[in-house]
Structure 1
């Protein structure tokens, strides 16, 4: 017979969310998160990002789901999307090994700092290991120090810097 303490302990271990691959039916919820991500970039780097009312094109989202070299993972709690990551799998010509490039990584602003991003990042790492990828890479904008701090916490290191100058 299981007592109430054992049940409580079991409930605490049970994850409050699940991570899965996105489906076409997730578009509306992912689009809301993507808009939040995009608007942050637009506000901080308007010279690179055009103002858009709907920055995530539905056809692009669907192709990210169906293409062999793309995956969209999302974190869901009570059927509500809390975070998502879009990755691209490439084969390196020099090493002849797969590697993963994170194209988008977004945690809903009110859910940041709760461990969801860490679990999503670990899912991307597990997927990379499963397919034999040699590394994970991404770009992070200089204004986004919070994201950079998160990626460093996940074990990422700066490998190169991309520089530019405006000609306007």
Structure 2
């Protein structure tokens, strides 16, 4: 397995994998996510691929087939005047093809993202997990992540 920055030829496969993640989210929160839609257009993905502040890393097999990805965003802190300034690498989305789960692709991607964060001078790696996505929570806890904050909601509908 090789992990590298995404390139334009990865876009069709990225759409397939984004669809797998969307389906998981739509099953957990059908009130928010629309099954069968796409998160990004081809043009948006092309722009992200070229944007060093929003790197997309892909794990590929020997033939170059993308088996997983990590969409990331470099973020500069603080959110307010009372916080120490620092840089973080936010994982906006991490997916491993459902056929490849359990084969350490996610662990390899996460390890790569941590190393990239260090190389980029980041203080931390962060992400959000939807309530009800217990397999993702368990995976990230296994990777050493801890809950930093909780976001709560009150649905008015």
Common fold by TM > 0.5: yes
CA-CA distance at 1:163 after TM superposition: 0.7
Count of residue pairs brought into register by the alignment? 152
Quick check: which has more Rg, 1 or 2?
A: 1
Correspondences of 1:60-139 after superposition (within 5 Å): 60-77=44-61, 78-93=63-78, 94-139=83-128
Matched, 1:33 2:33: no
Q: Distance in 1 between matches of 2:84 and 2:22?
A: 33
Conserved 8 A contact 1:35-1:56: no
Conserved 8 A contact 2:18-2:38: no
* Farther-moved stretch of structure 1 (80-89 vs 59-68): 59-68
Structure 2, unaligned runs of 5 or more: none
Give the superposed CA RMSD: 1.2
CA-CA distance at 1:96 after TM superposition: 2.3
Q: Which has the higher helix share?
A: 1
Q: Residue 10 of structure 1 aligns with which residue?
A: none
Deviations 1:73-130 (Å, cap 9, x if unpaired)? 0000022111000000011123322101100000011111111110100110000000
* Relative contact order higher in (CA < 8 Å, ≥ 6 apart): 2
Conserved 8 A contact 2:71-2:94: yes
Deviations 1:2-55 (Å, cap 9, x if unpaired)? xxxxxxxxxxxxxxx111100011100111011010111012101111234434
- Report SS of the residue matched to 1:82: strand
Q: Cα 1:136–1:29, aligned 2, differ >3 Å: closer, same or farther?
A: same
Of 43, 57, 61, the residue aligned with 2:27 is: 43
Q: Residue 54 of structure 1 aligns with which residue?
A: 38
